[in-house]
Amino acid sequence: MSLYQSSGNMKIAHLSDLHICSAPDTIIYGVNPYEHLKRAVSVLKERHDIDLGIITGDISNDGSKRSYEIADEVLSGLSFPIFVLNGNHDNADVLLMEHYSKMEYAPSFTFDGVQFISLNTVAISEDGTNRSRGVLSENEFARLADSIAKGTKQIIVLMHHPATLTGSWMDRRILENRERFIDCVTSSGKVIAVLSGHNHCAKSVEIRGCLFSTAPSISTSFTASMPPFMEANQPGFSIITIGQRTKEIIIVPILCSP
């Protein structure tokens, strides 16, 4: 378990779905993810109040070692620690097992008195590829339940696939066993937030005192009101402030032109 310490209210920069490619000039849905990430880092460098960065998956679009090296190089311009986890576009072995200068992975770590638990929600299809829709395995459920039971601190859960509904086409791609997961985290009274990505669209809701927050995408962006996978040109990230009794979220656009 990695241990870090900050002071006062904790401010988290929550990024997701970078979709960096091995060729930086690659265009996806009309946008350049590499340029978007550089813009996001530029915006973050203007702030001096961020304690911790979290990236909830899909750092890479093609799973290549070079794509992770490129992301790591750009993120190295930030002064605060960056923790990552894998999404359905990632190569988990390359992302989680390799050493990077800036990006760090830990199944569990503590920062400023809060325990963070990273979950793997990526499911494998019959052909051996990562499936778009997520699922939490029995092993991950057991690890989560054990961590909650033994936990003596407030807990924030990190995962790629959201567990909350949007009422749109996006709901075909979220966590399959979401109701069981929501019951698990909200019944404990210890989990104060669940941070996710995958939808490329920001959404936050509180359920029984637990904040469920899905970050906007750094790369391509969608909305629930538009047709599936139509580019919305709304890239950005979230700033989440965790206080003694409060949780606040602001969405920061990175103002990239299409």
> What pLDDT is recorded for position 6?
45
Compute the distance between CA of residue 60 and CA of residue 225 in angstroms, rounded to an integer.
Answer: 26
Of the candidates 223, 6, 239, the residue with the CA atom closest to the CA atom of residue 114: 6
Half-sphere exposure of 150 (CA within 13 A, CB side): 8
> What pLDDT is recorded for position 170?
94
pLDDT tens for the chain, 258 residues: list them. 455 444 468 999 999 999 999 999 999 999 999 999 999 999 999 999 999 999 999 999 999 999 999 999 999 999 999 999 999 999 999 999 999 999 999 999 999 999 999 999 999 998 999 999 999 999 999 999 999 999 888 999 999 999 999 999 999 999 999 999 999 999 999 999 999 999 999 999 999 999 999 999 999 999 988 888 888 889 999 999 998 778 999 999 997 444
DSSP string computed for 117-143: EE-----B-TTSSBPSSB---HHHHHH
Compute the distance between CA of residue 164 and CA of residue 178 in angstroms, rounded to an integer.
Answer: 7
pTM over 0.85: yes
* Domains present along the chain, CATH in parentheses: 2-253 (3.60.21.10)
